[in-house]
Structures are given as structure tokens and as C-alpha cells.
Structure 1
Amino acid sequence: MKIFLAGIMQGSYREMELHPQEYRLRLTEMLEKYIPGVEVYDPFRNHENSIHYSYEKGKSVFLGHNYLCREMDVVLAFVPEASMGTAIEMWEGNQNGAIVVTVTPLKTNWAVKFLSHHLYDSLTELESELESGKFLERMEEIRQNLSKMRENG
């Protein structure tokens, strides 16, 4: 299973700063612990200094990561507050057959609500489902439903 870690980086900051990114390590550790053979792609890894990239390099990395969401089995989004970049990653995954799973309190936000196949309230809730095996069951159920929808046009 290939999982893209989408999540808030700059958010609504107007200055060159980032939201704390510790959630990425926690998510990666959880996924690797409970999903055998999982491949986790974290767009922040190897790009920790990305807010200081040149225009050309920044654009290339940004668009490349968005396109990568098209190739994933799952886009796992962490959205504690509105995040334009994460919304684009969710869109790319959703429109190209990936399952979009979102950890967020923003359950009424249209981008979150309509692009996600499943919502979690917290990282703790997600970890509980990973540990119990329910997460993998849910992913298979969603995958089957998406496959049926594509077959039926």
C-alpha cells in the first residue's frame, strides 16, 4: 500500500514559517507499525527547507508532489486548520482513484467533507483503528465501493 502524507505546512501564515511538522513522524511510525509493507511518502522529508527554495525549485517540488498524489493508494491528510496545499493534494488523489482519509476537526468544510472517503477526529482515533485492523478493513471496503462506482460509470 502506497500512502502519501498530506498535511498542513504553511497554512495561513503570511511570513516564511511552518506549522509544527511532528505529526508527520507520528503518522509514519503508526503506519509502518500496523501496515506490513506500507510505503509512506512524506513530502516534507528531504524538503524541510522548502519555504526558502527559489521560485523555480519551489514550483517544481509543489507540482511534483501534487502529481504524485495521483499514483497513491491512499492520501492521508492531516488538516487541523484550513490548508490550501493539502486541499489540492486531496483533490488530486480523489480525482485519480486514491482513497482520501482525513484527520481533522473541520468536518463541515466542503473541501474536507466532499473529497474525503473517511474522516477521523484525531490521530488517537486513527491509531486505534490501525491497531485493531479496522483501518485496513475500511480501506478495502472503500476500494471495493470505488471500483463498483467506476464500473457503473
Structure 2
Amino acid sequence: MIKGLNVEVKLYGMLRVNRPKTAEGAPHHPFSVTLPEGATAVHLAAQLGIEEGLFTAVAINSETAELDTVLQEGDQISLFPPSAGGSDPLKVFIAGVMQSNRQDALIDDQNYRLKIAATLQRHIPNVQIIDPWAENPNSVNYSDEQARHTFLSMTAKASSADLLIAYLPRPSMGTAMEMWQAHQANVTIIAVTPFVHHWAIRFTANQILPDLDALFALMANGRFLQEIAPQALANR
């Protein structure tokens, strides 16, 4: 006798037409499915009648996963159709504190940029990252002419992105300018900051998160890939 495993499934977008007619609740509500042991998201999709290529991403227990990940008893599975914008890569501008309130010519620790970039690359297929620090790691040694050109060109690049992530544990004049440029160009902005009452943040950011852990949790959740990324592309 073949053993089965029970999982909870939630479908997004056009995949909801494949929701079993016997499933209770609204189309966006999760429903239960029994699968053979060793089944993957691909097997689940086939059992629901979802044709190959009509779903391109899966989240298991709110974490993005590979399509061939073996499912376990009690898993919560979310299946997503192709994101809006087709194969266009999502362009993400990483903004954030560099000098903050420093009075010297030094730069604050920029490791947060590496963490944000690595998490984006792990969860967002074909993401294109625009990082002013990565492009100009020796900017503290630039001449006035080089610095002026870099500052203005990087600020302008913020307006060419699809999504801007601003890390602001402390206020930053440069980041505020990048956010304003992005806002003027209808770029989706996620601010990671405790300064929720600052007008420069309240009236430019589409979403405000308290810290990097909250940002990384959002990226790992299937909603980022299915809702935020497509909306950012659609806004452009």
C-alpha cells in the first residue's frame, strides 16, 4: 500500500482556476491535498492539472524552494504563476547609509549591502543589482570632480531601477536624495528604518520595515516574488 502525505496548498493568480471544486472556502484560501510520499511541487502541480510552465515558483512553509524539493507531511505549499513582466530582470537599487552623521571622510560599515544583494540573488531569479558602493568602493579617495560626477550619476541611477531598497538605521542625506529621485520616477521603494515618522520616508516609501531581518523574511516569503516584484515591474 502506497503511503500518502497531507499538505496544505495555496494558489496564486491564474493558477486559482485549478483549485479543486470540492475545496472549501474562497479561491485565495488554502486547501488540503493528499500526495504520495516523495512527491515534489511538480507532482503537486500535475495532480491539480496545472500544465508545465504555468507555475514558475514555489514557497514551502513561507520559504522559497526549488520545484523539485521533496514535500513533507504538513507542509504549507504556495504555487505561483510566472511573474508580471515576463523574463525581464528586476532591477534593484541598494541605497543606504555611507557617511551618515560622520564628520570625517570615512565610510560606515557597508556589509549590509552584501547581505541584501546575496538574499536578493537567492530568492529573485535573474535579479539585476545596482549598488553604488560596489561600483565605487574607493570613492572616499575621489577628487572633487570624480565625486561630483559619481554622486549625481548614482542619484540618477536610482530613478532607472524597478525597486529601491533603502537601509536607514540612521538618517542619510544621500539616501534621501536617491529616494526622492526614485519616487519622482514612480520606482517602488522599500525603506528599512526605525524612522517611520520622518516625512522623507513616510511620503516616498511604498513599504517601511523595521530591520534587515524583516526585509529578509519578506524576500523569503513567496509574496515578494509574486506580488511586490511584479508590481514594481508594472509601475515602470
Q: Normalising by the residue count of structure 1, what TM-score does the alignment of the two structures yield?
A: 0.90
Could you say which residue in structure 1 is the equivalent of 2:228?
A: 138
How far apart, in 1, do the equivalents of 2:97 and 2:161 lie? 19
How far apart, in 2, do the equivalents of 1:79 and 1:38 lie? 22
Deviates further, 9-18 or 135-144: 135-144
- Cα shift at 1:17: 1.1
- Cα shift at 1:111: 0.5
Structure 2 residue corresponding to 1:126, chosen from 215, 220, 230: 215
RMSD value, Cα: 1.5
SS at match of 1:45: helix
| Structure 2 gap ranges (5+) | 1-89
4+ aligned runs moved over 4 Å, structure 1: 141-144
Structure 1 residues 88, 125: closer, same or farther in 2, change over 3 A?
same
CA contact (8 A) 2:163 2:232 kept: no
CA contact (8 A) 2:187 2:232 kept: no
SS at match of 2:132: coil
Higher-strand-fraction structure = 2
> Larger C-alpha radius of gyration, 1 or 2?
2
Q: Which amino acid aligns with 1:122?
A: D
Could you say which residue in structure 1 is the equivalent of 2:18?
A: none
Could you say which residue in structure 1 is the equivalent of 2:191?
A: 102
Q: Which amino acid aligns with 1:45?
A: A
Aligned length: 146
Could you say which residue in structure 2 is the equivalent of 1:43?
A: 132
- Cα shift at 1:21: 0.4
* Residue identity (%): 32
CA contact (8 A) 1:99 1:139 kept: no
Structure 1 residues 142, 3: closer, same or farther in 2, change over 3 A?
closer
Higher-helix-fraction structure = 1
How far apart, in 1, do the equivalents of 2:155 and 2:231 lie? 25
| Structure 1 gap ranges (5+) | 148-153
Q: What are the superposed Cα offsets for residues 58-107 of structure 1, whole Å, 9 maximum, x if unpaired?
A: 00000000111111101110000100000000000010121011111111
Higher relative contact order (CA 8 A, sep 6+): 1
Q: What are the superposed Cα offsets for residues 44-71 of structure 1, whole Å, 9 maximum, x if unpaired?
A: 0131221221000000000000111111
